[in-house]
Amino acid sequence: MKIKIKLYIDKETSTIEVEKGTALKQVLKERNPSIFNKFAGVVKDGNFMDFHSPINESGEFQLIPYNDKMSYSAYWHTTSHIMAQAIKRLYKVNLAIGPSIEEGFYYDMEKETPFSEEDLKKISEEMKKIIKSDLPIEYKEIKKKEAKKLFSDNKFKLELIDGIEDDFVSIYSQGEFTDLCRGPHLYSTGKVKDFKLLSVSGSYWRGDEKRESLQRIYGISYPDKKMLKDYIYRYEEAKKRDHRKLGKQLDLFNIYDEIGAGLVLWHPNGAIIREEMETFWKKEHLNRDYKIVRTPHIAKADLWKTSGHFDYYLENMYTFERDGEEYVVKPMNCPYHILIYKKQTRSYRDLPIKYAELGTVYRYERSGTLHGMLRVRGFTQDDAHIFCSEDQIEKEIGEVFDFAMEMIKTFGYKDFEIHLSVRDPRHKEKYAGSDREWEKAESALVSTLENRKIIYKRDEGEAVFYGPKIDIKIKDALGRSWQGPTIQFDFNIPHRFNATYIGEDGKEHMVYMVHRALFGSFERFVGGLIEHYNGNFPTWLAPTQVILLPITNEQIDFSKQVLKTLKDNDIRVTLDERNEKLSKKIRDAETKKIPYMFIIGNKEIESKKVSVRNHKDGDIGSFSIEDILSKIKEEIKKRR
Residues annotated as catalytic are 334, 363, 381, 383, 385, 469, 515
Report CA torsion sign: 391, 394, 397, 398. negative
3-state secondary structure of 499: coil
- Buried b / exposed e along 168-190 (16+ C-beta atoms within 10 A): ebbbbbbeebbbbbebbbbbbbb
Q: How many Å apart are CA 44 and CA 58, to the nearest integer?
A: 10
- Among residues 141, 208, 130, 137, the alpha carbon closest in space to that of 180 is found at 141
- Among residues 526, 548, 523, the alpha carbon closest in space to that of 537 is found at 526
Q: Bridge partners of 220? A: 196
Is the separation of the CB atoms in 597 and 621 below 8 Å?
no
| Cis ω before 352 (30° cut-off from 0) | yes
Is the separation of the CB atoms in 329 and 317 below 8 Å?
yes
- CA–chain centroid gap for 94, Å, is 30
Q: How many Å apart are CA 417 and CA 476, to the nearest integer?
A: 11
The DSSP secondary structure of 12-74, one letter per residue, reads EEEEEEEETT-BHHHHHHHH-TTHHHHEEEEEETTEEE-TTSB--S-EEEEEEETTSGGGHHH
Q: How many Å apart are CA 189 and CA 187, to the nearest integer?
A: 7
Is the separation of the CB atoms in 72 and 100 below 8 Å?
yes
Over the Cα atoms of the chain, what is R_g?
Answer: 29
Is the separation of the CB atoms in 537 and 241 below 8 Å?
no
Q: From residue 622, how far is each of 72, 517, 590 by CA, in Å?
A: 53, 44, 19
Q: How many Å apart are CA 266 and CA 272, to the nearest integer?
A: 9
Report the Cα–Cα distance between both ends of the chain, in Å, rounded: 65
Q: Which amino acid is at 15?
A: T
Q: Bridge partners of 105? A: 100, 219
Q: Bridge partners of 254? A: 265
Cβ atoms < 10 Å from Cβ of 453: 6
Q: How many Å apart are CA 154 and CA 170, to the nearest integer?
A: 16
- CA–chain centroid gap for 281, Å, is 21
Is the separation of the CB atoms in 89 and 67 below 8 Å?
no
Is the separation of the CB atoms in 110 and 222 below 8 Å?
no
Q: Residue 512: in which H helix or E strand, if any? A: strand 512-521
